[in-house]
Structure 1
Amino acid sequence: MVGVNKSRTAAADFSTELDRFEAKYIIPRQLVEPIKAFIRPYCTMDKHCAAAGGQYFINTLQMDNEALSLHYAKEWEAAHRFKLRVRTYGKPPGQAPVFLEIKRKYFERVIKSRACIPFDEWKPGILKKHADELNLKSVKEREAFREFVRLAEEIDARPLVYVRYCREAFTGIFDHYARITFDSQLCYQPVFDMYNWGGDGRFISMDSGLVRHRRESSLVLEVKCTEQVPTWMVELVQEFDLIRCGNCKYSTAIWMENLLIGKGEAPFSDQFMYD
């Protein structure tokens, strides 16, 4: 899932649609190495992560409307909801492609569709173009682009925040689709220019125990798979007594920004449930 070539190359995962289940856990940093040891017989480091030196940065432009409809759909646990986000990889970004993504959630299922655009084409006016004007690889990508634009116009979405974090990723050796990721160095920045990826502003850390009402600075562990959950994933959760919790990075950024400007309170640990 990381692109590092100056064109649309094999260094990026260009799958345009994925139907999966995922669960998130907030874990203390001292559990990272024991968990890595536990999954070693079943997983290998993601090839893009390995190519990037063991970890990579994810940069996401989150879009929503003035009423924060997508944020509150998550807050109110709407059974059917979606996010609109624009994503690229690396720090600083500039080589990886830009992905326009729709991430839908239907109860426990997560369905993600996306269209891939070369980085140097991410510039003003791109969302006004017709899908046929872009060098999209497939019918599904063209459909994903049209749907992204349709939804953005339908809810009057605009860019709100950049979210950036560092990811270590591992993939299952024997499974059709199984993925373990560790996310750290979470931070955000209110959007001032939706095309410069936060280069002119200061990022605000979300990687703090204060955000989650915890003593330590913790990490986000994500477990992702298809409907058939591998046995080793079940054993992983049991072995480390992991407690599933919600951790929407976009919503956390909204909570923190509201706190900083005096508009509300962030939920704490007892409210971080079942994202």
Structure 2
Amino acid sequence: MGILTSLPATIERHELKYAVPWRFVEPICRFIEPYCELDHHSAISADNFYLVSSLYLDTRGLEFLRQRMYGKDGRFNMRVRCYGEQGQAPYFLEIKRKRGFIGKKYRAIASEDEWPAIIQDPQFRIQPADSDKNQNNMELFYRLATSYAIEPKLLTQYRRRAYVSTIDQYARVTLDASMKYRAQNHFSLVSDENMVSYDNETIYTRDMVSDAAVVLELKCDVGQVPTWMLDLISTFDLKQQGFSKYMSSFLVSHLDDGIAYMSGDRMSRHYAYG
């Protein structure tokens, strides 16, 4: 998968998220073009967006979700990700740890033979890898998966436009749109007609821009926020906020059908006509 498989096996970075209206997408892209270029998969896509599918894993008691809800410092989650329309290998086994605004991601590349066998097959054994880091990260994923007895919980899917800096050692801008989700109790990353589109009024608008429909994320080396990123934030008057695809999707799909996310007038209509 080209640049995706060549990303470092372990990434520690500063991460800032913003929910923005769709009308901001092209102006933001034009703003960053002097400093960035499209990543490989955006560059070869007709509209510069490519499909990302992520299967979120958690304990039976939803320990990872609870840590996220209560804002525990040092929390982590586990997911499996793939790129492209078919939901096929290579798969990326990821552990993402968050401390403040600093994210550290461990990722291992897995083949069709390794996923989901690493979870489901008691006889599974990790084979020597070309990269020591890939093998170490796969062993870490396996240990955590076993000790926490993780299960599939939620499949998310969205289209991403991604840029990488041409002037910084590491800086990345992603715009995620057309987000969908569904509850999941098996290990496939293939979507179907049961995927539910994110509802603007139940997911994006809680303390956010009212017409937000895209998640913008700025990522850079720790302690090295590029000046052009700061200028971007200032120019578009961006307001930083946390946005968890896993938590947002899970709460809406499992707990209250989105009632807690509704504005007051919509909640009144819900109870009047529901």
Fold equivalence (TM over 0.5): yes
Q: 1:25 aligns with which of 18, 28, 31?
A: 18
Q: 1:70 aligns with which of 64, 67, 84?
A: 64
Alignment of 1:249-268 (within 5 A): 249-259=245-255, 262=256, 265-267=259-261
2:226 matched residue in structure 1: 230
Distance 2:258 2:191 in 1: 28
Alignment of 1:124-273 (within 5 A): 124-127=116-119, 128=122, 129-131=124-126, 133=127, 136-195=129-188, 197-199=189-191, 202-206=194-198, 208-213=200-205, 215-227=210-222, 228-259=224-255, 262=256, 265-267=259-261
Q: TM-score, structure 1 length as denominator?
A: 0.85
Q: Quickly say closer, same or farther: Cα 1:248–1:16, change in 2 above 3 A.
A: same
Paired amino acid for 1:237: I
SS at match of 1:246: coil
Distance 2:70 2:259 in 1: 16
2:6 matched residue in structure 1: 13
Structure 2 stretches of 5 or more lacking a match? 264-274
Q: TM-score, structure 2 length as denominator?
A: 0.85
Are 1:188 and 1:253, in contact at CA under 8 Å, matched by a contact in 2?
yes
Are 2:55 and 2:153, in contact at CA under 8 Å, matched by a contact in 1?
yes
Per-residue deviation at 1:253?
1.2
Structure 1 stretches of 5 or more lacking a match? 4-8, 270-275
Per-residue deviation at 1:125?
2.8
| Paired residues, number | 255
Paired amino acid for 1:231: T
Paired amino acid for 2:53: N
Distance 2:116 2:83 in 1: 20
Are 2:92 and 2:109, in contact at CA under 8 Å, matched by a contact in 1?
yes
Paired amino acid for 2:10: E
Compare the two structures and name the one with the higher helix fraction.
Answer: 2
Per-residue deviation at 1:152?
1.7
Q: Quickly say closer, same or farther: Cα 1:83–1:123, change in 2 above 3 A.
A: closer
Q: Quickly say closer, same or farther: Cα 1:142–1:268, change in 2 above 3 A.
A: farther
Per-residue deviation at 1:19?
0.8
Per-residue deviation at 1:182?
0.6
Per-residue deviation at 1:141?
1.1
2:272 matched residue in structure 1: none
Are 1:208 and 1:217, in contact at CA under 8 Å, matched by a contact in 2?
yes
Are 1:42 and 1:172, in contact at CA under 8 Å, matched by a contact in 2?
yes
Provide runs of 4+ in structure 1 moved above 6 Å. none
